[in-house]
A = this chain, B = another copy of it.
Amino acid sequence: MTDNPSPFAQRGSTEQVEDGRALAPKFDADGLVTCVATDARSGDVLMVAHMNAEALARTIATGEAWYFSRSRKALWRKGETSGHAQRIVEMRIDCDQDAVWIKVEQAGAGACHTGRRSCFYRAVPLGKEGAVTLEFRDGEKLFDPKDVYRK
């Protein structure tokens, strides 16, 4: 795979980036784009993560989600440890090409390393100032991370 030419074009003018058909991602200073994964059935946001050029190229080539871990500084295929892979139904890129949206079929019980379906299991109440108390929503643990992630 790494012997193949890059799937990415050079960044052109704003018009080329926003209204063109060439994939010319804007990687940030750390070489990353943001990726939002939503559940293809429910539409819920499952997770937000990052892709470097290699993760993005592998995701496009394979139709499975690959990410780059900022904390571990490592490429990873979603599900490689947990089995909870993400098969991509549709992939989109945004206007300035620094964020991608993938609609996925989530294998296994969930996307979140804490054992939940989604990483977004707490709501932030609105309309108040001062300290905030989060409210759990859809926060049921569907699997035990200790069973799923080998240490």
Binding site for B on A (CB under 8 A): 1, 4-5, 7-9, 18-23, 34, 36, 38, 42-45, 47-48, 57, 59-63, 88, 90-96, 99-101, 112-114, 116, 119-137
Whether the Cβ atoms of A133 and B22 lie closer than 8 Å is: yes
- For A130, the closest partner residue in chain B by CB is B5
Q: Is the CB of B100 within 8 A of A124?
A: yes
Residue of A42, A60, A61 with most partner-chain B CB within 10 A: A60
B60 touches A48 (CB 8 A): no
Q: B36 touching A90 by the CB < 8 A rule?
A: no
**What residues of B have a CB within 8 angstroms of the CB of A36 in the complex?**
36, 45, 48
In the complex, the 9 A-B pairs of residues with the closest C-beta atoms, listed nearest first:
A43-B43, A92-B120, A94-B119, A48-B99, A23-B132, A91-B124, A63-B126, A4-B129, A95-B119
Given contacts A23-B134, A92-B122, A95-B114, 10 further A-B contacts (CB under 8 A): A5-B129, A21-B134, A23-B132, A38-B38, A43-B44, A48-B94, A60-B124, A61-B128, A93-B120, A93-B124
CA distance A83 to B93 in the complex (A): 25
Which B residues touch A119, using CB under 8 A? Answer: 94-96, 99
